[in-house]
C-alpha cells in the first residue's frame, strides 16, 4: 500500500474548463488560513509552457502559490506535457508516455510534509490521465473524498448528475464530499439563480458552496479539514 497523507481531498470536475484549479486554490488557502500545513498535488498536466527549457504547468504554479510553498514545483506536478490535449495524447505527441507508477508514487512526497493534501485532477472525473487510468482511478485508489467542481451555467444539472452516477458506479464506488458550483464567467444565463435549488432536488450529495465570478471566498464557510478524511 502506498504511504500517502492520511487526510486529503480529490478535486475533480464535471467537465473541463469548470474552474477546478481556481477552487482547489481556494481550498488550499482556506486550510492555510486555519493553520494547517497544506500539500498540493497534480499527478499530470498538459498544455504547459516552456520556461528556461522546462515545461511548466500554470495550474501547478497556482497551487504552489495558494499553499504558500516554494522550491517544489516538480513535486507538485511531476509530469507535464506541452500540447493542450488529454495527457496520454499530449505525451504521445512528444514521443513519450505517461508514467503510471509516477502518477501514484508522486503523492508519497507529501506523506510527512503536510497535514492535509489537495489532489487536483485533469478535466472531468472520467477524463484519461494515462492509457489505462482516469481521474476516477486515482480518486478511488487514493481514497480521498471527492470534491466535484461544476460550472454554474445552463447544463450543469445534467453534467453534475451524470458525474455523480459515474462516481458511484466506478469500481467499488467513490465517496463524494459534495459539489462546488463555480461561476466561470462574468456574464450569466438565466439558469444560474435556480441551478443550486434544482440540483438539490435531484442529488443526494450536498452542494457545499458556490463561488461567484472571481470571488476569493466560498459563499459559506466549509470545514475542509473535517471533510478530508480518507474513505478507506
Distances (CA, A) of 183 to 15, 103, 174, 213: 14, 30, 25, 5
* Backbone torsions φ then ψ of 161, nearest 5 degrees: -65, -45
Residue 42: active-site member: yes
- Number of Cα atoms under 13 Å in the Cβ half of residue 45: 25
Element (H, E) at 209: strand 207-211
Selection from 143, 141, 109 nearest residue 229 by Cα: 143
Cβ atoms 224, 27 nearer than 8 A = yes
Largest interatomic CA distance in the chain: 51
Distances (CA, A) of 163 to 21, 57, 150, 159, 227: 18, 26, 10, 6, 20
Q: Which residues contact 112 (CB under 8 A, 6 or more apart)?
A: none
Strands 176-182 and 207-211: parallel
What is the Cα–Cα distance from 33 to 47, expressed in whole angstroms?
Answer: 30
7, 20, 42, 113: the catalytic one is: 42
Distances (CA, A) of 211 to 97, 132, 174, 198, 205: 36, 33, 24, 17, 18
- Active-site residues, by number, are 42
Amino acid at each position: 500500500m502506498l504511504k500517502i497523507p492520511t487526510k486529503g481531498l480529490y478535486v475533480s470536475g464535471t467537465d473541463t474548463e469548470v474552474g477546478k484549479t481556481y477552487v482547489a486554490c481556494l481550498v488550499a488557502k482556506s486550510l492555510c488560513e486555519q493553520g494547517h500545513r497544506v500539500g498540493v498535488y497534480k499527478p499530470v498536466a498538459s498544455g504547459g509552457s516552456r520556461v528556461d527549457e522546462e515545461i511548466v504547468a500554470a495550474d501547478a504554479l497556482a497551487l504552489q502559490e495558494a499553499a504558500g510553498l516554494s522550491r517544489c514545483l516538480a513535486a507538485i506536478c511531476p509530469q507535464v506535457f506541452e500540447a493542450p490535449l488529454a495527457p496520454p495524447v499530449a505525451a504521445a505527441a512528444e514521443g513519450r508516455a505517461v508514467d503510471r507508477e509516477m502518477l501514484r508514487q508522486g503523492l508519497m512526497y507529501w506523506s510527512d510534509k503536510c497535514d492535509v493534501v489537495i489532489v487536483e485532477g485533469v478535466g472531468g472525473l472520467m477524463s484519461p490521465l494515462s492509457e489505462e487510468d482516469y481521474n476516477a482511478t486515482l480518486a478511488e485508489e487514493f481514497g480521498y473524498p471527492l470534491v466535484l467542481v461544476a460550472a454554474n451555467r445552463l447544463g450543469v444539472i445534467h453534467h453534475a448528475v451524470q458525474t455523480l452516477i459515474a462516481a458511484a458506479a466506478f469500481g467499488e464506488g467513490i465517496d463524494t464530499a459534495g459539489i462546488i458550483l463555480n461561476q466561470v464567467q462574468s456574464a450569466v444565463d438565466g439558469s444560474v439563480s435556480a441551478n443550486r435549488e434544482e440540483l438539490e432536488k435531484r442529488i443526494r450529495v450536498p452542494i457545499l458552496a458556490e463561488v461567484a465570478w472571481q470571488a476569493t471566498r466560498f459563499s459559506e464557510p466549509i470545514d475542509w479539514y473535517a471533510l478530508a478524511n480518507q474513505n478507506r
